[in-house]
Amino acid sequence: MAEPIRVLVTGAAGQIAYSLLFSIAKGDVFGKDQPIVLLLLDITPMLPVLDGVVMELQDCALPLLKEIIPTDKEEVAFKDLDAAILVGSMPRKEGMERKDLLKANVAIFKSQGAALEKYAKKTVKVLVVGNPANTNCLIAAKSAPSIPKENFSCLTRLDHNRARSQVAMRCGVPASQVKNVIIWGNHSSTQYPDVHHCLVNMSGSELACFDAVKDDAWLKGDFITTVQQRGAAVIKARKLSSAMSAAKAICDHMRDIWSGTPENEFISMGVYSSGNSYGVPEDLIYSFPVQIKGKTWKIVDGLPINDFSRSKMDATAAELIEERDTAVTFLGV
């Protein structure tokens, strides 16, 4: 049996974590023969709820789950981590200005970044899920200067999976037959779901997405807005935000970091923009198409970008610059 790895989930008493923890503990993410020590962090008032989650994990009788450590203390939660999944964040309350939301989250992710810096392994892989995920990720990375920037990423895999599924349903094929959709930019309604490089396997032959769908107006219109606004549509229907699908996307994202992406296939994740070949401004966490090998991601280079795509990629970058610049002013506070 391999040595156990230490995996942290924050916001561990929340609804995304409730859908996520079983999959991690069962071996769906880090491997079927990888034992796990699960560290569960939440705020003090949530500890009684967290105890219930711990009981349920114990009651699953999972062979890979070696230890469960529930806590409200960062020095306990972040110690010697191999992986950190930062789900907990300040949700937007009614009537709350975006600026106030950013300010509250800068405080959280500055503190968690500092805890990563102080207590975690320098090889730790950090996935930020809590919104605004891109900017929260940037703040955490800036607050942990001795951990490589490449070790930080934010979740846009849920958007990626949504886009993939929309194309698959439109073409009447399983989602596994659709590959290489791209989410560019921010995990917000300015994100750009791009299918210009997407391939659909239709009865054994791979077609370009536009040839498979045969409806350019839909692909350049309703498809994009459906993916951009899917989170809001789920909230409207369920009165709760996406949890099952978010947990599945987190599993996909971390599994790909741990095990790599399939040959000739790329996925979307928010990563450091510095040095990219697509003219995206430096010093942002921006969603790109990436391939992963040996736990290292690489932006897929050389994809042709048309004017339609360029304008949408620039619009989401502009929003991220504004978010970053606002957030950075709170960093010194």
**Residue 291 amino acid letter:** Q
**243-294 residue pLDDT tens:** 999 999 999 999 999 999 999 999 999 999 999 999 999 999 999 999 999 9
Average pLDDT of the residues of the chain: 96
With 0.95 as the threshold, say if the pTM is over it.
yes
**108-128 residue pLDDT tens:** 999 999 999 999 999 999 999
pLDDT of 92 reads: 78
Contacts of 133 (CB under 8 A, 6+ apart): 154, 155, 156, 187, 270
**297-324 residue pLDDT tens:** 999 999 999 999 999 999 999 999 999 9
**Residue 123 amino acid letter:** T
pLDDT of 260 reads: 98
Q: Say how far apart CA 211 and CA 226 lie, in whole Å.
A: 20
Residue 250: phi and psi, rounded to 5, are: -60, -45
**201-252 residue pLDDT tens:** 999 999 999 999 999 999 999 999 999 999 999 999 999 899 999 999 999 9
pLDDT band at 163 (very low <50, low <70, confident <90, very high): very high
Q: How far apart are the first and last CA of the chain?
A: 47
Kindly report which listed range (49-53, 60-64, 101-105, 181-185) carries the lowest average pLDDT score. Answer: 101-105
Whether pLDDT at 98 is above 80: no
pLDDT band at 100 (very low <50, low <70, confident <90, very high): confident
Put residue 279 in one of left, alpha, beta given phi > 0 → left and psi -120 to 50 → alpha: left
Higher pLDDT, 94 or 32: 32
Q: Which of 160, 187, 197, 253 is catalytic?
A: 187
Kindly report which listed range (142-151, 156-165, 270-279, 323-332) carries the lowest average pLDDT score. Answer: 323-332
pLDDT of 96 reads: 76
Annotation: binding site: 42, 92, 98, 105, 129-131, 162
pLDDT of 331 reads: 86
pLDDT of 94 reads: 74
**3-20 residue pLDDT tens:** 999 999 999 999 999 999
Q: Say how far apart CA 200 and CA 187 lie, in whole Å.
A: 24
Mean pLDDT of 129-134: 96
Mean pLDDT of 172-182: 98
Whether pLDDT at 333 is above 60: no
pLDDT of 309 reads: 98
> Is 187 in the active site?
yes
pLDDT of 123 reads: 98
> To the nearest whole percent, how much of the chain has pLDDT over 70?
100
Mean pLDDT of 61-88: 98
Bridge pairing between strands 125-128 and 36-41 = unpaired
Annotation: binding site for substrate: 92, 98, 131, 162
